[in-house]
Structure 1
Amino acid sequence: MKEITVDSNPSEALLKKMGAAYWPTWEKEVSVFPWEFVTTETALILEGECEMTPADGGPSTTFKAGDLVVFPLGYKCTWEVKKALKKRFKHSNGNIVKCTFNRLKRLSNFIKSIMK
């Protein structure tokens, strides 16, 4: 199974190039739940801390506020949200409906930002 990658110090230039400011947000309270990624998801963690344990029994991955995380398509895991989580996220590859909805949301956020 592919592994999660974590960049604990993404540069502002990289985040700007990726358009992270326009990604939609998602929040989750402290909890534990199973998940399977149906897209490749790139996430910028804004708040909180989480540990993810792969379903195949491999080593867990911890990430926290400030980290840029990539969850590979098909990754099966258990989320353990240790501190309430807030993230910005972008879907690519995989489920076309989720990817299309995510692109539309990013475009909407970008338009809102220039209309201010």
Structure 2
Amino acid sequence: MTTTEKSGIKIVKNPPESKLTDLGVRSWPKWGCPPSKFPWTYSAKETCYLLKGKVKVYPEGSDEGVEIGAGDLVVFPKGMNCTWDVSETVDKHYNFE
């Protein structure tokens, strides 16, 4: 399990099931979308777990995309403006604080 932080986005690669259970991830609501590109603003801190898919998230003011995909537990900070560039259909659990 490795944790990295890029442009304020925290990514935990392949967290163990015990961590997902502690967070209650499997009972969180689900959200999905087909390949697309759209702007997004986080009005609250969001933690999400990608069940499938591949996305590049471009935080506002950054040319460098942060790549996330299936098996990643990701935390987006409150107030972040970004663009989601979905290359493979996404299915995820999410939780807003």
TM-score for both structures, normalised by structure 2? 0.89
- Which runs of structure 2 are paired with 1:90-109 in the superposition (5 Å)? 90-92=95-97
1:17-62 Cα offsets, whole Å, 9 max, x none, are 0001100000111000011100100000001000000111253210
Aligned identity (percent) is 35
| 1:52 is aligned to 2:57 | yes
Amino acid paired to 2:32: E
Partner in structure 2 of residue 24 of structure 1 = 29
Q: Secondary structure at the match of 1:39?
A: coil
Q: Secondary structure at the match of 2:26?
A: helix
1:49-94 Cα offsets, whole Å, 9 max, x none, are 00000111253210000100001101110000010000000100xx
Partner in structure 1 of residue 73 of structure 2 = 68
Amino acid paired to 1:25: K
Amino acid paired to 1:9: N
In structure 1, the gaps of 5 or more residues are 93-116
TM-score for both structures, normalised by structure 1? 0.75
Q: How many Å separate the matches in 1 of 2:47 and 2:64?
A: 20
Q: How many Å separate the matches in 2 of 1:10 and 1:70?
A: 13
Aligned length: 91
The list of structure 1 runs, each at least 4 consecutive aligned residues, that deviate by more than 3 angstroms after superposition, is none
Query: Normalized per residue, which structure has more strand?
Result: 2
